[in-house]
Structure 1
Amino acid sequence: MEINTKRAEIMQVCLVTGGNSGVGLMTAIGLARLGNHVFIACRSANKAAKAIDYIRQTTGNENVEFLPLDLASLDSVRKCVKLFNSYNLPLNILVNNAGIFNNRGTTKEGFELIWGTNYLGHFLLTYLLLENLQKAAPSRIIMLASDLALSPSGIDWNLLVKRTPLNFLKLYAVSKLCLLLLTRELSQRLNNSQVTVNAIHPGFVQSNITIWHRLSKYLGLGISSEAGAYSTLFCATSLDYQILVENF
């Protein structure tokens, strides 16, 4: 994957949630290939170690590191930010990529699991890192959206503090809708700053988020994780995306 950008020659500090697999891994590889310092934030230290080794071998970039992050725990989000701050580095690019689809339950704090992971965890992470991003401006925030975000006609707030219902698809759609609303709100609040906030939908990707996504490559459906990361990388690095652009 080749990304042509004038920013490629300048090292950026990047944080990619879910950077250990799928689109997140391909995004981390693309950012590392451009010479950036990349942090991948995810739950599993073992999976992160394997991903980091792969990224380093693939790109020749040793500046790839792991941040423990469980988006279903607000305490874990706070610890992740505290650990990142201990590096005393700027933050130029935040990619809110991680997500779950059909998991059921509640978060550590009692919120519905899908919404709490996909939206609430990313909301807190972004909020706590916002000062870092402002100090490092020009900087960028990228939200991984979905076309399912267009399906809800409203938000049933009562469902967000209960265990995942049988119709989990509704909660996934609401979580992605909330990310779009967050994108819009942040873009308005940061309108006079050099922090841009964009949302992109990568399309149907042959990822591991569901069994159907995992099987899709054998059925000739969807696009590869590498192709799915292209829009994220373009949004993260191209000069064309220094203003709000929502693709969904």
Structure 2
Amino acid sequence: MPSLLRITAVAVLAAAMLYVPWWLLFVLAAVLYVPARRWAAGGVCESRARLDGKTVIITGANTGIGKVTARDMAERGARVILACRSLEKAEEAAKEIRSQTGNKNVAVHKLDLASLTSVRQFAKVINDAEPRLDVLINNAGVMGCPRWETEDGFEMQLGVNHLGHFLLTNLLLDKLKQSAPSRVVTVSSLVHAFPSGMDFDDINYEKDYSPNKAYDRSKLANVLFSRELAKRLKGTGVTSNCLHPGVIMGSELMRFQREQWQKKFGELVAAALSKLVGGVFSVFGKTVEQGAQTSICLAVAEELEKTTGLYFSDCVPKETSAAGKDDEAAARLWGVSERMVGLKSAT
């Protein structure tokens, strides 16, 4: 269902709560809950492909859909590398995955996407120690934070969601090419459709900063990056696709949203909004298991081995926004990103 229809449905429900007796709302909720949850669950990866002998790297794999994806890869027999900022949390997740799957080949390496030095160190470890890399899943992200900066002075959401993954992917390309057929999977979002385009005049948000707008543009950057990468990798056996995982219940990405509401509306309204959104998400949102399905599908589905340059949702290709199809902007973003991360001189 298009996002506009979802918003309309939620608005109708909210209006109904004002005029319909509470007992009738309770009955309607009880009757509609199960079909609503089934609808919200979305697509499921039906592939039973094994990944024995293959290596998969997942960023941000210690929690959420990244952790579920890592567990699925381990169940399929892959060597799974959890690339995470917190080694302690990553080790806990790896221990749990090993126990649940019986796959002991689950490794942990430190990767802080807010530090280009950390990205380069991680890539060196992988390139030196790993004989192959079959799937790279760019999953980690930050959402709605204040205007923080990365170690290198980039706006945090652009830096982590796009630039860190941009550099990481480029530094691992030779390994991916050597292991072809291989895949790059980038987690974006439907909010990539909200901006009319990238703001190249203020890409680092030094003039005007909105947490939500910055997040939306970082997700548009994911789509443009994935699209341009697919073009550049044509004929190499390495594919590049991106995806919208769905609106995830209990996602850690939402941890800054309540702080924004508190600043704008005060504690009382923020608490009410949090409960309202939580209630809507509990019906129309996805569990982390459901949200991971499209990432898993793009990583393993045999029929997608040669599919590249597309945007997926619920395990099937979907149209991006007009801004997401802007090849000129994609090429320009690539060049700007190269200079920002130091892959090419700024001259």
TM class, shorter-length: over 0.9
For the Cα contact (< 8 Å) 1:112–1:159, is it kept in 2? no
For the Cα contact (< 8 Å) 1:114–1:164, is it kept in 2? no
Shift of the alpha carbon at 1:161? 3.0
Equivalent residue in structure 1 for 2:124, among 61, 82, 86: 82
Shift of the alpha carbon at 1:62? 0.5
Q: Is 1:152 equivalent to 2:195 in the alignment?
A: yes
When residues 215 and 163 of structure 1 are mapped into structure 2, their CA distance, relative to the original with a 3 A threshold, is: farther
For the Cα contact (< 8 Å) 1:141–1:198, is it kept in 2? yes
Shift of the alpha carbon at 1:46? 0.9
Q: Which amino acid aligns with 1:116?
A: G
Q: Distance in 1 between matches of 2:106 and 2:211?
A: 35
TM-align CA RMSD: 2.1
Give the structure with the higher percent helix.
2
Aligned to 2:197, what secondary structure does the other structure show? coil
Q: Which residue is 1:246 aligned to?
A: 311
Q: Is 1:226 equivalent to 2:268 in the alignment?
A: no
Equivalent residue in structure 2 for 1:208, among 243, 252, 256: 252
User: Which deviates more from structure 2 when the two are superposed, residues 206-215 or residues 61-70?
Assistant: 206-215
Shift of the alpha carbon at 1:3? 4.6
For the Cα contact (< 8 Å) 1:112–1:161, is it kept in 2? yes
Q: Which amino acid aligns with 1:125?
A: L
- Larger-gyration structure (1/2): 2
Q: Distance in 2 between matches of 1:164 and 1:45?
A: 35
Aligned to 1:161, what secondary structure does the other structure show? coil
Q: Which residue is 2:184 aligned to?
A: 141
Shift of the alpha carbon at 1:158? 4.4
Q: Is 1:107 equivalent to 2:150 in the alignment?
A: yes
Q: Which structure 2 segments of 5+ residues have no match? A: 1-43, 256-273, 314-347
Shift of the alpha carbon at 1:10? 3.4
When residues 43 and 9 of structure 1 are mapped into structure 2, their CA distance, relative to the original with a 3 A threshold, is: closer
Q: Which amino acid aligns with 1:121?
A: G
1:1-248 to 2 correspondence within 5 Å? Answer: 3-6=46-49, 8=50, 10-104=52-146, 105-162=148-205, 166-206=209-249, 207-211=251-255, 215=278, 219-242=282-305, 243-244=307-308, 245-247=310-312
For the Cα contact (< 8 Å) 2:61–2:70, is it kept in 1? yes
Q: Distance in 1 between matches of 2:292 and 2:247?
A: 11
Aligned to 1:79, what secondary structure does the other structure show? helix
User: Which deviates more from structure 2 when the two are superposed, residues 214-223 or residues 74-83?
Assistant: 214-223
Q: Distance in 2 between matches of 1:129 and 1:110?
A: 23
Q: Distance in 2 between matches of 1:240 and 1:233?
A: 13
User: Which deviates more from structure 2 when the two are superposed, residues 185-194 or residues 91-100?
Assistant: 185-194
When residues 112 and 164 of structure 1 are mapped into structure 2, their CA distance, relative to the original with a 3 A threshold, is: farther
Q: Which structure 1 segments of 5+ residues have no match? A: none
**TM-score under structure 2 normalisation?**
0.67
Q: Which amino acid aligns with 1:200?
A: L
**Deviation per residue, 1:131-156 (Å, 9 max, x gap):** 10000000000010101101111222
Aligned to 2:292, what secondary structure does the other structure show? helix
Q: Distance in 2 between matches of 1:67 and 1:164?
A: 36
For the Cα contact (< 8 Å) 2:45–2:296, is it kept in 1? no
**Deviation per residue, 1:99-158 (Å, 9 max, x gap):** 000123111111111111100000000000001000000000001010110111122234
For the Cα contact (< 8 Å) 2:45–2:297, is it kept in 1? no
